[in-house]
């Protein structure tokens, strides 16, 4: 398998995980009666999984002395993840999987256009073009079709 094929497969599997994780977490939210508690449990299980993997794979940890060498905002990714997981727990029963994922995809594409265009957060520059905007518009059209048909 070529590296490109591997990464395409990995991206598809990551995409499959979004509605699956949201559905599992929504069920956890019903049991806990709290989307925040369900998200906390989900993150705890995820953290434990990553800690075990890191230990088994013997991945070295970075030096604490280098913490100050990076901007403060690199530490905020987990907060975005917490918002995302909690939001999906709330949205699944309200919108269903297809509409929720389509709306999330639209938000991701809009943010991606800006991140690529300006090269924010270390992304390589890819200027906004008619084709890229048209792609986002088509996704939005797809959301409308999914939501109302």
Arithmetic mean of pLDDT, 120-131: 95
Secondary structure element (H or E) that encloses residue 149, with its range: none
Q: Is residue 73 part of a domain?
A: no
Beta strands in the chain (DSSP E): none
Q: What is the pLDDT of residue 41?
A: 98
Arithmetic mean of pLDDT, 119-138: 94
Q: Is residue 13 part of a domain?
A: yes
Domain housing 94: 3-62+79-148
- How many domains is the chain partitioned into structurally? 1
Beta strands in 45-146 (DSSP E): none
Q: Is residue 67 part of a domain?
A: no
Q: What is the pLDDT of residue 106?
A: 87
User: 29-56: per-residue pLDDT in tens?
Assistant: 999 999 999 999 999 999 999 999 999 9
- How many whole angstroms separate alpha carbon 117 and alpha carbon 97? 30
Q: What is the pLDDT of residue 131?
A: 95
Q: What is the pLDDT of residue 112?
A: 94
Question: Given a cut of 90, is residue 114 above it in pLDDT?
Answer: yes
Q: Tokens representing 76?
A: 């905020």
- How many whole angstroms separate alpha carbon 11 and alpha carbon 132? 20
Q: Is residue 114 part of a domain?
A: yes
Total-model pTM: 0.86
Q: What is the pLDDT of residue 57?
A: 98
Q: Is residue 118 part of a domain?
A: yes
Contact 116, 126 (CB under 8 A): yes
Q: Is residue 124 part of a domain?
A: yes
């Amino acid at each position: 398998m070529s590296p490109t094929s591997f990464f395409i497969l990995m991206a598809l599997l990551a995409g499959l995980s979004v509605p699956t994780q949201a559905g599992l977490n929504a069920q956890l939210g019903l049991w806990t009666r709290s989307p925040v508690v369900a998200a906390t449990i989900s993150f705890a299980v995820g953290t434990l999984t990553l800690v075990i993997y890191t230990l088994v794979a013997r991945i070295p940890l970075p030096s604490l002395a280098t913490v100050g060498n990076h901007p403060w905002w690199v530490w905020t990714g987990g907060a975005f993840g917490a918002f995302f997981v909690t939001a999906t727990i709330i949205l699944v029963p309200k919108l269903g999987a297809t509409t929720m994922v389509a709306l999330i995809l639209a938000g991701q594409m809009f943010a991606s256009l800006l991140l690529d265009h300006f090269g924010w957060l270390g992304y390589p520059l890819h200027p906004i073009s008619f084709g890229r905007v048209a792609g986002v518009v088509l996704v939005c059209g797809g959301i409308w079709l999914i939501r109302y048909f």
